[in-house]
Amino acid sequence: MKSFKEQILLGRSGLTAGRLGVSGGYGAPAEAFETAFEQGCNYFYHGSLRRPGMTQAIRNLTAKGLRGKLIVVDQIYARLGFQFRWSFKSFLKKTGLEYADVLLLGWYNGLPSQKVTDLCLELKSKGLVRHIAISGHDRKAFPEFAEQGMFDILQLRYNAVNKGAETDIFPHLPPKRPGLVAYTATCWGKLLNPKKMPAGEKTPRASDCYRFVLSNPNMDVCITGPKDMEQMKEALATLDRGPMSEEELAWMRRVGDHIHG
């Protein structure tokens, strides 16, 4: 398996992305995101909680002429037209960007309405959005998402506790598949909690959780959501530590199965 330091082609989107994506929703400062960018982490997930750290990092990197190397993702949960438009305009105003690389439709367990679809295609036709993505919690909806030509990226839950994508999603994707991005790699912190470990097993580090996800050949990008520089440094250790061995993968699966059970 290739080094995690090498950027990859994000499925049929054609975008070139670092293996570790970063989320701005947990409060890390701009410096942390700029440090990540310097190490090749260019997938900036600026979700519904558009906190100042990532906003400032995007502005700083853009001012340095690096906009073309960034993949900035705007997530929208709104289903109503006026709320949808307001959310997107707010994103552009806050970041100072002229367009979003990816517009992510948040929390869909089935195909979006025709109204939402038309809004996405309108923004794309105007050059305000380059690619459309979708996320959700119902794994069985993702093969249908993948068949839809409008979705270039799928954002899904996958970690050592929640491994259902291995049977419900990965085997059912078309040959020319969308890019796959994982969130909740630590299972909302459960995989980092010593009290939840099976007897005799060590507690994973955050970088172990990201390495587990990225060691699956189906996954393209894994998102980390650090709250400070220390957590960002631990996340970035993923790049140096690289793919897991078979022994490490087996250990993570034992821990994940115990927590799931």
Residue 48's pLDDT is 72
Q: Give 129-142 pLDDT, tens digit per residue.
A: 999 999 999 999 99
DSSP string of 177-217? Answer: PBEEEEE-TTTTTGGG-GGGSPTT-PPPPHHHHHHHHHTST
Residue 174's pLDDT is 96
Q: Give 32-76 pLDDT, tens digit per residue.
A: 999 999 999 999 999 877 889 999 999 999 999 999 999 999 999
User: Above pLDDT 90, what percent of the chain?
Assistant: 95
List the domains of the chain with CATH numbers.
Answer: 8-260 (3.20.20.100)
Mean per-residue pLDDT, 142-163: 96
Mean per-residue pLDDT, 231-250: 98
Residue 1's pLDDT is 65
Token pair of 46 as six digits? 């600026």
Token pair of 158 as six digits? 């996958």
Mean per-residue pLDDT, 167-188: 97
Residue 49's pLDDT is 78
Token pair of 167 as six digits? 């049977």
Residue 47's pLDDT is 81
Per-residue pLDDT band at 2 (split at 50, 70, 90): confident
CA neighbor of 190 nearest in space, from 259, 251, 133, 136: 259
CA neighbor of 58 nearest in space, from 32, 98, 30: 30
pTM, 2 dp: 0.96
C-alpha dihedral sign at 139, 196, 245, 212: positive
Q: Give 202-222 pLDDT, tens digit per residue.
A: 999 999 999 999 999 999 999
Mean per-residue pLDDT, 161-166: 98
The residues, ordered by sequence, that sit 6+ positions from 69 with a Cβ below 8 Å of its Cβ are 37, 42, 61
Mean per-residue pLDDT, 83-93: 96
Distance CA 210, CA 79 (A): 31
CA neighbor of 213 nearest in space, from 139, 154, 158, 157: 158
Distance CA 31, CA 38 (A): 11
